[in-house]
Structure 1
Amino acid sequence: MLRTLVIAAHPDEPEIYAGGTAALLARAGHAVKFLTLTNGDAGHHELERGPLARRRAQEAVRAADALGVIDYEIFDVHDGMLEPTVELRLRVLAQIRAWRPDLVIALHADGGGHPDNRAAGQLAAHAVEFAMTRNLEVGKPALERMPLCLLMTDYASAPVHRADVVVDVSPVLTAKLDACLAHASQFLEFAPWQRGFLDQAPPAGDVAAGRAFVLEHWAEFAEEETFQLAGYGRKADVEEVRRLLAGTREPAA
Structure 2
Amino acid sequence: MAIDSRTVLVFSFLWISVGFMYGDPGTAVAQDGKLRIICFGAHPDDAEYKSGGTAALWAEQGHHVKLVSVTNGDIGHWQMSGGALAKRRTAESALVAKRLGVESLVMDIHDGELMPTLENRRKITRAIRQWNADIVIAHRPWDYHPDHRYVGVLVQDAAYMVTVPFFCPDTPPLKKNPVFLYSSDRFQKPYPFRADVAVDVGSVFEKKVDALMALESQTFEGGALGSAEKMANAPPANAPEARRQWLHERWVKRQSAEAQQHRNALIRWYGEDRAMQIDYAEAFEICEYGRQPSDDEIRELFPFLPKK
Partner of 1:163: 195
Within a 5 Å distance, the mapping from 1:43-58 to structure 2 comes to 43-58=76-91
Cα distance change on mapping 1:248 and 1:20 into 2, 3 Å: farther
AA aligned opposite 1:102: D
User: Where does 1:111-150 land on structure 2 (aligned, <5 Å)?
Assistant: 111-150=142-181
Aligned residues of 1:165 and 1:238 also touching (Cα < 8 A): no
* Preserved CA contact (<8 Å) 1:43 1:190: no
TM-score by length of structure 1 reads 0.89
Structure having the higher Rg:
2
2:134 corresponds to 1:77: no
Cα drift, residue 216 of structure 1? 2.7
1:235 alignment partner in structure 2? 292
Name the amino acid aligned to 2:107: F
- Give the distance between the partners of 1:238 and 1:185, measured in 2 at CA: 40
Which one-letter code corresponds to 1:142 in the other structure? P
Matches of 1:138 and 1:239 in 2, distance apart?
33
TM-score (norm 2): 0.74
User: In the aligned structure 1, how far is the partner of 2:187 from the partner of 2:242?
Assistant: 28
- Name the residue aligned to 1:198: 231
Equivalent residue number for residue 272 of structure 2: none
Q: Distance in 1 between matches of 2:85 and 2:182?
A: 28
SS class of match (1:232): strand
C-alpha displacement at 1:156, in angstroms?
A: 4.3
Look up the equivalent residue of 1:128 and give its one-letter code: A
**Aligned-partner residue type, residue 283 of structure 2:** T
**What is the distance in 2 between the residues matched to 1:72 and 1:231?**
27
Aligned to 2:133: 101
Establish whether residue 211 from structure 1 lines up as the match of residue 268 from structure 2.
no
Q: Is the 8 A contact 1:108 1:152 kept in 2?
A: yes
SS of structure 1 residue aligned to 2:157: helix
Q: Which moved more, 1:174-183 or 1:9-18?
A: 174-183
1:22 and 1:205, CA in 2 relative to 1: closer, same or farther beyond 3 A? farther
The count of residues paired between Structure 1 and Structure 2 equals 246
Tell me which residue corresponds to 1:225: 282
Q: Is the 8 A contact 1:187 1:214 kept in 2?
A: yes
Report what 1:68 is aligned to: 101
8 Å Cα contact 1:16-1:221 kept in structure 2: no
Q: Secondary structure at the match of 2:181?
A: strand
In structure 2, distance between residues paired with 1:238 and 1:226 = 16
Q: Distance in 1 between matches of 2:302 and 2:216?
A: 29
In the TM superposition, structure 1's runs of 4+ consecutive aligned residues that sit over 6 Å from their partners are: none
Identity of aligned residues (%): 38
Q: CA deviation at 1:155?
A: 5.0
- C-alpha distance in structure 2 between counterparts of 1:106 and 1:188, whole Å: 25
Distance in 2, Cα, partners of 1:198 & 1:40:
19
The answer on 1:244 being equivalent to 2:278 is: no
- Which segments of 5 or more consecutive residues in structure 1 lack a partner in the other structure? none
Q: 1:24, CA displacement in angstroms?
A: 0.6
**Is residue 10 from structure 1 mapped to residue 67 from structure 2 by the alignment?**
no
CA contact (8 A) 1:17 1:221 kept: no
Alpha-carbon shift at residue 232 of structure 1 (Å): 1.1
Return the structure number with greater relative CO, CA threshold 8 A, min gap 6.
1
Looking at structure 2, the residues matched to 49 and 130 of structure 1 have their Cα atoms a distance apart, in angstroms, of 33
- Once the two structures are TM-superposed, the CA of residue 246 in structure 1 deviates from its matched residue by 2.3
Give the superposition deviation at 1:248: 6.9
Deviation at 1:239, TM superposition (A): 5.0
Q: Please give the secondary structure, in 2, of the residue aligned with 1:20.
A: helix
Distance in 1, matches of 2:148 and 2:98, equals 24
Offset, 1:72: 1.1
Distance 1:182 1:174 in 2: 14
